[in-house]
Structure 1
């Protein structure tokens, strides 16, 4: 039977899924790599580690594959967004990649607003200037590392570089380009106006393609090293959030997704680019033909939980550490947590804000703190839903994916805080499945992504909101929303004391 491989290039690991035409996962592999954090606010990676670990993952898949390598017809990608990979005239990497969660570029964001004006930037890109985006990173290198910038011939995003090493071809897809702050998302082309005003050579921007387009085949060199066939088609792929949406069936108006990984995302499908959210949430091109999506981001979602486990239960499994959460009432006995351990994105684009526990007393036990962290992450995601609903979107059902689906107490918590039915899919590999679906569609297996979704996606379980807990959480959410303003000035003053 024919197969495709979906490659999800994440922040901490690359995950590879081998799927057949029935949407069944035949095999999966994960390979980790480190993040380089030289100082507070810095987050980088060595692009070579992505290539090496992806190649190692492909080799593992092919070693275990019982069929003919030529049966693997296509490969496609999902990738961490916004990361800057600078290449020289020989397409060699000039410096470590600056990642999406790097927050060193506050000054560059101000420069963008001063040069373009917030209103004009939103008109072109539909997004505000935030530290995580690619354009501020490009300007930072231009300002602070001019010799490196002078050598730059082009830039790409993380998955684009790995795809280049597989095919020898350089491209960027619309869904990822939308997160650079350099593309006119309505016209689907690089903005000459932005480039000219900010003094960026438009030739630095790579060719643009659709997420489902074939961009090449596996090179003979990569075929030999991994066991793949050189006839295997490589499909462009998309941004991790776009692929997560595709892999979760978010392919028409009214469909909404909650994804809890290192960061957290609430995403809703849009069939047009004419909504006006005033830059309060992101507005990006989808991986589907002529589709868009709005998105709010919690910068440290699962990362907040991982941090708290490191400091309170390092030697325990997650299951053991979280085992008593269900015995804690909604509201964690009056304990509240804001998940700003790395700053925040939506609705507060603030790199300086930091997390808080509010309401601690001697009666609180570790289980209260754990539940409070989970609730705080979910409250933060609910702020994005509140913006969507405030702009007239009706949201009754939400597909939940990512690490947050591994704990049923958390899924029920999402239903109660979001006041919506939560759907858990049979497969929790959203972005990887989305990448595989783009591969399948790009190879011509299905006439549309919707028909591909009908074959590849199935529901495992649903969680309905508890009316009594909905009331409790509605009141607590109002308190949660007060914490940001109450702690902002204090955190601004604490910045100089951080390492």
Structure 2
């Protein structure tokens, strides 16, 4: 009987479920959208129970459309967005919505904690700065502002470990998501109990840590009834979405870099040692004995989606007339505009900015508008601005001697040839594109395949499942022309950042 693997991705705007054969081919897939809540300024929340409801529906649809017997599913891997703090009680009930990676409600707590403990001490242990978007400040926020929730919390879970819990009824913390909690020893991959106390929360509220391909448990009868799965299917710990996407892109070698073009943007540079930068993000890879130096930006596919929603009525109309995606029409328009968008520059800070600025008050800006500028100029400027944000992170990594050999692009933005070429030209790096739409869920599925022994190694899994579909070489003349706009891009934020605080 042929065997298959299931990958589940808990993204910001939707969950995705995909079934793969052992060669990495998508047999079927489904997605379900859920809400993001903004109850107060700086608060950005989601309801984990809504994640689960959508996962159940997506799994059912995936199984039905695959026309495959659920008994043939040999393993399940789950990846998810970073920096959740999901409080569950001993019965497994969710006690509150979770703040997600864009949430900055704990800014004051960060200032107090850094003053008390010292940012240098925190960074030396966990390789990450103490920022409000991480999990630790959110846990401390619950303790200070919702003490009943904090006191009733049995464990704080991450997005993927919550879904793993719902499938198996076992709590866990995978290695790649450990970096969100600042009592995590980045070199040794373990909790430092005394540092939990010093930061101000209880160690026992953190789950035990597991390798990402470790089998946490099996699908329960209850979960089988809710999802259409079969009881007893092994479920592995899973990992961070960016790390699973990095694996699904085939990034296993030092210097290889995954470039993320989903709702948000970012990069993950593969390392064989723990090397951090205070303005970047350091985590374990989902592959043992490797680390990822990451840059996470707000500007990504979400920026171009925002532009389409607010200003893209023409593109929507044209797309309906031609029977194509409005994003294809936007690509065609951007291609007509010269390199540098005739001096129009976009700062893609649509919800503040993460690395390397870490400024929750940073604002999106179009600079250089004039009567001669068109909507097509603005579309290309958005693409270039997101690519400048990527370059800003790459340049930051280079300051500590971390070099990049090549980029491997994943996410919806990688389907855009013009946008991918813009990124190659701005960074001056070769960009390879695998099957971009499924890299993240494929990475989660590979974890299940390795954990259950269907693949002998991660290297075998990558060789068997991943194929590069196209390669973009940088146009070095364009790269030279972009340098001036990039310098202006950096200068604009520096000159506007104080003004941005006032808005």
Tell me whether the two structures share a fold, i.e. TM-score over 0.5.
yes
Q: CA deviation at 1:427?
A: 4.2
Counterpart secondary structure, 2:469 = strand
Whole-angstrom CA distance in 2 between matches of 1:92 and 1:240: 24
In structure 1, runs of 5+ residues without a counterpart are 495-499
Provide the C-alpha distance between the structure 1 equivalents of 2:10 and 2:463, rounded to a whole number of angstroms: 25
SS of the residue corresponding to residue 7 of structure 1 reads strand
Aligned counterparts, 1:127-142, within 5 A: 127-142=128-143
Is residue 355 from structure 1 mapped to residue 364 from structure 2 by the alignment?
A: yes
Q: Could you say what secondary structure the match of 1:86 adopts?
A: strand
Q: Which residue pairs with 2:377 in the alignment? A: 368
Q: Is 2:241 aligned against 1:240?
A: yes
Contact 1:115–1:197 under 8 Å retained in 2: no
Are 1:280 and 2:279 an aligned pair? Answer: yes
1:400 and 1:427 mapped to 2: Cα distance? Answer: 7
Write out per-residue CA displacement over residues 89-122 of structure 1, whole angstroms, 9 at most, x where no aligned residue.
3221111111111121211111221121011001
Aligned-partner Cα distance in 1 for 2:127–2:327: 39
Q: CA deviation at 1:466?
A: 1.0
CA distance 1:427–1:335, change in 2 (3 Å): closer
2:476 to 462, 467, 484: 467
Who is 1:332 aligned against?
A: 341
Tell me the equivalent position of 1:484: 493
Are the equivalent residues in 2 in contact too, given 1:258–1:400 (CA < 8 A)? yes
TM-score of the superposed pair, with normalisation by structure 1? 0.96
Q: Matched residues in 2 for 1:276 and 1:339: separation?
A: 25
- Relative to structure 1, the CA distance from residue 39 to residue 284 in structure 2 (aligned partners, 3 Å threshold; closer, same or farther) is same
1:40-119 equivalence runs, <5 A: 40-119=41-120
Partner of 1:303: 302
Distance of 1:355 and 1:225 partners within structure 2? 42
Matches of 2:472 and 2:331 in 1, distance apart?
19
Q: Specify the alignment match of 1:497 in structure 2.
A: none
Aligned-partner SS, 2:332: coil
In the TM superposition, what is the alpha-carbon distance from 1:60 to its structure 2 partner?
A: 1.3
Q: Alpha-carbon deviation of 1:57? A: 1.2
1:375-394 alignment, distance < 5 Å: 375-394=384-403
Contact kept, 8 Å, 1:62 with 1:226, in 2: the verdict is no
Q: In the alignment, what sits opposite 1:258?
A: 259
Equivalent residue number for residue 147 of structure 2: 146
Q: Deviations over 1:245-264 (max 9, x none)?
A: 11011112011111011111
Q: What is the alpha-carbon distance in structure 2 between the residues aligned to residue 394 and residue 486 of structure 1?
A: 29
Cα 1:191–1:70 change in 2 (3 A) is: same
Q: Distance in 2 between matches of 1:454 and 1:219?
A: 33
Could you tell me whether the CA contact under 8 Å between 2:410 and 2:435 is conserved in 1? no
Matches within 5 A, 1:451-462: 451-462=460-471
Q: Does 1:434 align with 2:443?
A: yes
Distance 2:152 2:163 in 1: 21
Q: Is the 8 A contact 1:238 1:435 kept in 2?
A: yes
Deviations 1:193-230 (A, max 9, x none): 32111321110111111100001110012223333221
Partner secondary structure for residue 74 of structure 2: strand
Question: Matched residues in 2 for 1:20 and 1:307: separation?
Answer: 35
Return the offset for 1:307: 1.7
Partners of 2:190 and 2:373 lie apart in 1 by 54
- Per-residue CA deviation, residues 330-355 of structure 1 (Å, 9 max, x unaligned), is 11111111111111111111111111
Q: Provide the C-alpha distance between the structure 2 equivalents of 1:143 and 1:397, rounded to a whole number of angstroms.
A: 45
Q: Is the 8 A contact 1:427 1:457 kept in 2?
A: no
Answer whether contact 1:210 1:236 (CA < 8 A) is retained. Answer: yes
CA shift for structure 1 position 231: 2.5
Q: Indicate the residue corresponding to 2:168 in structure 1.
A: 167
Shift of 1:283: 1.1
Helix, strand or coil at the partner of 1:459 = coil
Could you tell me the TM-score, scaled by structure 2's length? 0.95
Q: Distance in 1 between matches of 2:232 and 2:294?
A: 37
Q: How does 1:21-40 map to 2 (within 5 A)?
A: 21-40=22-41
What secondary structure does 1:178 align onto?
A: helix
The answer to whether structure 1 residue 230 and structure 2 residue 231 are counterparts is yes
- Displacement of 1:404: 1.4
TM-superposed deviation, 1:276? 4.4
Q: How does 1:172-191 map to 2 (within 5 A)?
A: 172-191=173-192
**Distance change in 2, residues 1:38/1:236 (3 Å):** same
Q: Distance in 1 between matches of 2:165 and 2:312?
A: 41
How many residues align structurally?
492
Q: Give the Å deviation of 1:314.
A: 4.6
Unaligned runs of 5+ in 2: 317-325
Q: Distance in 1 between matches of 2:125 and 2:59?
A: 39
Residues 155-201 of structure 1 deviation map (CA, whole Å, 9 limit, x = unaligned): 10112111111111110101012222231122211122321113211
